Chain A
Amino acid sequence: MSATRPPAARRATSRMGTPNPFGKAPKTRTVMAPEGLALISRIPPRSERLAAFLLDFFLILAADFALLTIPFYIGDFSSSLQWTIVLFLTFIVNNAYFIYFELSWQGRTPGKKLLKLRVVNRHGGELSPFSVVVRNLTRQMELLTPTLLWSDGPDNLLVNVALPIVWFFGITLLPFWNRDGLRAGDLLGGTLVISSPRAELLPDLSAPSGDRLESARRFSSRQLSIYGNFELQVLEEILRKPVSDIPRATLWTVARKIAVKIDYPLDPELTAEGLRLFLTDFYAALRAFLEEGRLYGRDKKDQNSPPASGAA
């Protein structure tokens, strides 16, 4: 299978494979793009799947309700012919809704679109329209089989009582029993539902504005070889926060900690703005240093790892 689980050790890490200092890491799964690149997708929590389904279900119910009630107001509804046509139309709506939207909205239904979910091919590559058909035909069976069997009455203990219960727990609740939240329909169709929220391209912190070019602080290799990728990215998250969110006291704590560690003479009189400039300069220099190390195959994960560069 080309879609592989990240090994256990990577599960607690973020999408970049570096430790995520900010809360619980989202569940991910890689999908192999035909270009040979393993793309990382986020597995949505089951609550999002359920919410999307309930939304779609509500829309279908609303359509059925409209189909079943509107004819009452526009004419004689006693004829069984009209009744049958309406029933047939609801049959079409109920069965074609998911298939139609997942085909024409690229793996999304209105509910999925709202929750930013998508259906993709679990094995990588194009999402076949037949996969879409299969995963949605199965949906009816997953949900309705227990109720159909149950509603036949308790004539047969095995078929009308035991089977629906086993079915409900084994098939209907299947998404709760596997890590990727696969329904029986996903198993049969070879599909996977992933979460694809949009990420913004934020400004590069290392790119200083014009007049900072000359005055940017310089750091020695020895000073830069103390910290690793993890600390760099923690610093990035701090600097990315809105200016007003970080009081001078916090900036001072961070800057002083760094200054002491790398033995840099930091002016205690610096304003919040000045401290921010110091941190930005250090960030840019550290990033350039660590990235150069990576370029030559010397990766320093955090401050406890062995040195990234031969210079240290």
Chain B
Amino acid sequence: MSASSLAAPGEAARPDAPWLHGEAKREAPNGVQDGAIRSARFRKGREESWRRLETLLAKLDKKGLKALSAPETIELPRLYQIAVSSLSLARAIILDRRLLAYLENLCFRGYLAVYGPRETLAEVSVAFATRGFPAAVRSLKIYILAAFLVYAAGILAGWLQVGRDINHFHRVLPPSQSQIQVSDSPQELLANEIFPPFPGFERTFVVFANFLFRHNAQVAFLSFALSLALGVPTVLIAFYNGEVLGALLSLHAQKGLLLPYAAWLSIHSVTEILAFVLADAAGLSIAHKILFPGRESRLKALSRQGREAGVVMLGVVLMLFIAAFLEGGARQLFNHTGARIAVALLTGSLWLAYFRYAGKERP
């Protein structure tokens, strides 16, 4: 940056600046001096730095942040500040419409460049995985507890209903949507559902996992999105999902298959249900802020909570991705109750440790 462009704003602040002492220079008519009126001189002194800022902004616009050299990245915010101080002076005094429009525009573009997003997708991903996601989950503690309780109530309701009469099973899960029937014998269930032959890597880890992922991600999104309806549908969906789970558990328990079925289920469900609970919790937090924004304005409370909830939802999608691999592939691969329980315990404790400790600031 040249010395003159740096001097421009300082000139205005100096006690002998013509700007501040116009009255003393009465000799020229109407503030005209050296053949130029005051605001023309104001422009002359700063124009170079504006043009320079414009050049840098154009470069940035075209090729991105990496196009700027190291000195230029230091120069940019300084030039921006010069432009901002020019604008605030110009707004107070200058009547040249186009000059004002130019400065307004230049400052806004400078503002966007200086305060635009700096991170690349890769940096954001790392920050998300190591800090953003676990921290956002921790901030939803109370909502997670609430969503978990709703789930638990659903499971209990399903379990009790089917426990009283096994034929109630299809009241919870209509035959059209259920792969198993009340009339299935324990042997059939074991052979077809819990320990089917491994259909091959491709069909499990890729095709089935992909289907499950897209399906579950949609369910989680829906549950979250419905939070905008004040959370009532979110709670209902969570309760119903729990009810189905409870009904299935009860059905298998009555056929003497509780442990192998629970193992078959938990290998992926630890991750999947946790993801659903997080999605519901995120939705409930939004609903809470819509109903009770607290001290902030409703919009501001919503956008702050929305960002947290959005971070959680992104994590939920990734968790469902992992769950889909476990459900579509690992469950078929580990054809053994003990191995399945081991995987479930392992994933469960990994998630807990991750949410509890990852990205926590050390005191």
In angstroms, Cα B297 to Cα A243, docked, is 53
Given known A80-B202, A141-B221, A188-B306, contact A199–B101 (CB-CB < 8 A): yes
**Cβ contacts under 8 Å, B73 to chain A:** none
Chain B residues whose C-beta falls within 8 Å of the C-beta of A100 in the assembled complex: 121
Partner of A91, one of B22, B30, B214: B214
B314 interface residue, CB < 8 Å from A?
Answer: yes
CB-CB under 8 A from B94, the residues of chain A are: 291
Q: Is there a chain A Cβ closer than 8 Å to B99's Cβ?
A: yes
Task: Decide yes or no: A106 and B112 within 8 Å by CB, A84-B210, A130-B310, A295-B22 being known contacts.
Answer: yes
Q: Is A15 part of the binding interface, using a Cβ–Cβ cutoff of 8 Å?
A: yes
Q: A199-B101, A199-B105, A201-B51 are in contact. List 6 more A-B contacts (CB 8 A).
A: A37-B84, A80-B206, A130-B307, A132-B117, A190-B304, A236-B98
Assess whether A280 is interfacial by the CB under 8 Å rule: no
Instruction: State whether A190 touches B303 (Cβ < 8 A).
Output: yes
Q: Which residue of A lies closest to B34 (CB)?
A: A213
Q: State whether B116 touches A106 (Cβ < 8 A).
A: yes
Can you list 18 residue pairs at the A/B interface with Cβ under 8 Å?
A33-B107, A34-B115, A100-B121, A103-B119, A106-B60, A106-B112, A123-B300, A138-B310, A188-B307, A188-B310, A190-B300, A201-B102, A202-B102, A233-B95, A237-B97, A285-B30, A291-B95, A294-B95
Interface residues of B in 23-65 (CB under 8 A from A): 29-32, 35-40, 43, 47, 50-51, 54, 60, 64
Interface string of B280-315 (1 = CB under 8 A from A): 000000100000000001011011101101110110
A179 proximal to B (CB < 8 A): no
CA distance A138 to B108 in the complex (A): 27
Q: Judge if A65 is at the interface, Cβ distance under 8 Å.
A: no
* Cα distance, A99 to B229, chains bound together (Å): 26
Instruction: Note all chain A residues with C-beta closer than 8 A to B87.
Output: 37
Q: Is the CB of A137 within 8 A of B47?
A: no
Are A33 and B84 in contact (CB-based, < 8 A)? yes
Least Cβ distance of A186 to chain B in Å? 8
C-alpha spacing A5/B203, complex, angstroms: 57
| Interface size counted on chain B using CB atoms at 8 A | 82
The reply to whether the CB of B72 lies closer than 8 angstroms to some CB of chain A is: no
Q: Which of B64-89 contact A (CB under 8 A)?
A: 64, 81, 84, 87-88
List A residues 48-101 near B (Cβ within 8 Å): 79-81, 84-85, 87-88, 91, 96, 99-100
Q: Please measure, in the bound complex, the distance between the C-alpha atom of A218 and the C-alpha atom of B31, giving whole angstroms.
A: 12
B265 on interface, CB distance cutoff 8 Å:
no
The answer to whether the Cβ of B4 comes within 8 Å of any Cβ in the partner chain is: no
The yes or no answer to B225 lying at the interface (CB within 8 A) is yes
CB neighbours (8 Å) of A232 from chain B are 95
Contact call A105/B64, Cβ cutoff below 8 A? yes
Enumerate the 7 nearest inter-chain pairs by beta-carbon distance, A residue then B residue, closest first: A188-B306, A134-B310, A190-B303, A199-B105, A288-B37, A106-B116, A141-B225
Asked whether A104 lies within 8 Å of B107 as measured between CB atoms, the reply is no
Chain A's nearest CB lies how many Å from the CB of B115? 5
Residues of B within 8 A of A105 (CB): 64
Check: A267 CB closer than 8 A to any chain B CB.
Answer: no
In the complex, how many residues of chain A place their beta carbon closer than 8 angstroms to a beta carbon of chain B?
91
CA A84 – CA B207 in complex, angstroms? 6
The CA-CA distance from A198 to B103 in the complex, in Å, is 11
B193 within 8 A of A: no
Q: Which of B64, B111, B115, B307 contacts A190 (CB 8 A)?
A: B307
**Neighbour of A198 across the interface among B109, B311, B314, CB < 8 A:** B109
Closest to A87 in B: B210
CB distance from B182 to the nearest CB of A (A): 22
Chain A residues near B36 (CB-CB < 8 A): 206-207
Q: How far is the CB of B202 from chain A (nearest CB, A)?
A: 5
Chain B contacts for A37, CB-based, 8 A: 84, 87-88, 107
Q: Compute how far the CA of A117 lies from the CA of B81 in the bound complex, rounded to whole angstroms.
A: 23
| A87–B124 alpha-carbon span in the complex (Å) | 25
Determine the residue in chain B with the shortest Cβ distance to A122: B303
Cα(A218)–Cα(B105), bound, Å: 34
Known: A187-B299, A196-B112. Contact between A233 and B97, CB under 8 A? yes
